[in-house]
């Protein structure tokens, strides 16, 4: 089932997506919402991030080739993570499917995409074993962890390198039935041309490993999201470019880059 969050004529709702139609519900997906019977065309809505998380987690470096290429780009030795230390991103930066990514006037040339699978938490969880870890996951969506590499390299934190407004597209919806994670493929296209394709689950530390490690020390809450990192490197994105991230059985997250006015 695909759960979207959207704005229709100024009203923000969740709904169930079926082809080009969304059936509105009252409430939020992980709290047994009621169907209202109202339907709307996907052409008549604005897509919103499918959830605004209480805490926005991100694995960051979690695919081997990406670690090596990122290290090379910033002139450091590759440092493959030895344990699943989770990181964070910021809610201010979130936008939905089809919203524009705004490149700040003073950004450098290296504005990059990172196409990631995102686990959406549906149940409060602490002290989960690896075996039970996925029991707290409601479904999956797609994230684009956009990064300005000069700022990422030069600043003391990743505040503007990763968390500038509009730098965190997420969507288009939450899919509850992705099937076998090992059978998913992530494909990124820029202006219709495939720039990278990789097995989504080819992570250094997989989702159960992260959730089990995290919940030793922290409580996960419904609506929390965990962005699982991306493989490879990105070309430099510029105003006018359209970035599409597709993950098997989830869908396509599409965003256009524009210049700050």
Q: Which is nearer to its own copies, 18 or 85 (CB)?
A: 85
Least distance to its own copies, CB of residue 123, Å: 14
**Binding marks (x or -) toward its own copies, 94..113, rule CB under 8 A?**
----------x---------
**Binding marks (x or -) toward its own copies, 121..140, rule CB under 8 A?**
-----x--------------
Could you give the CA distance from residue 72 to residue 227 in angstroms, rounded to a whole number?
A: 23
Least distance to its own copies, CB of residue 157, Å: 4
Which residues in 236-255 contact its own copies (CB under 8 A)?
none
The token pair that represents 88 in the structure block:
């964070």
Cβ–Cβ under 8 Å, residues 107 and 121 = no
The token pair that represents 153 in the structure block:
């390299």
Near its own copies by CB under 8 A: residue from 97, 160, 189, 254: 160
Near its own copies by CB under 8 A: residue from 10, 34, 75, 217: 217
Q: Is 220 in the site for its own copies (CB under 8 A)?
A: yes
Q: Which is nearer to its own copies, 42 or 95 (CB)?
A: 95
> For binding to its own copies (CB under 8 A), which residues are involved?
52, 54-55, 60-61, 81, 83, 85-88, 90-93, 104, 126, 155-157, 159-160, 163-165, 214, 217-221, 224
């Amino acid at each position: 089932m695909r759960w979207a969050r959207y704005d229709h004529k100024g009203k923000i709702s969740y709904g169930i997506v079926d082809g080009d139609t969304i059936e509105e519900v009252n409430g939020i997906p992980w709290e047994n919402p009621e169907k209202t019977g109202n339907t709307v065309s996907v052409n008549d809505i604005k897509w919103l991030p499918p959830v605004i998380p209480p805490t926005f987690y991100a694995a960051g470096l979690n695919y081997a080739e990406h670690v090596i290429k990122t290290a090379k780009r910033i002139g450091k030795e590759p440092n493959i993570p030895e344990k699943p230390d989770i990181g964070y991103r910021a809610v201010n930066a979130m936008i939905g499917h089809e919203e524009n990514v705004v490149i700040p006037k003073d950004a450098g040339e290296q504005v990059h995409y990172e196409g990631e699978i995102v686990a959406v938490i549906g149940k409060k969880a602490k002290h989960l074993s690896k075996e039970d870890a996925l029991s707290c996951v409601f479904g999956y969506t797609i994230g684009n962890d956009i990064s300005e590499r000069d700022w990422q390299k030069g600043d003391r934190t990743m505040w503007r390198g990763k968390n500038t407004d509009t730098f965190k597209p997420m969507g288009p919806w939450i899919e509850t039935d992705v099937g076998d994670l090992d059978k998913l493929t992530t494909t990124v296209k820029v202006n219709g041309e495939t720039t990278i394709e990789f097995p989504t689950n080819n992570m250094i530390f997989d989702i159960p490993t992260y959730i089990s490690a995290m919940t030793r020390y922290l409580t996960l809450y419904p609506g929390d999201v965990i962005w699982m990192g991306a493989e490879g490197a990105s070309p430099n994105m510029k105003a006018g470019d359209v970035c599409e991230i597709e993950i098997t059985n989830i869908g396509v997250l599409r965003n256009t880059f524009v210049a700050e006015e």
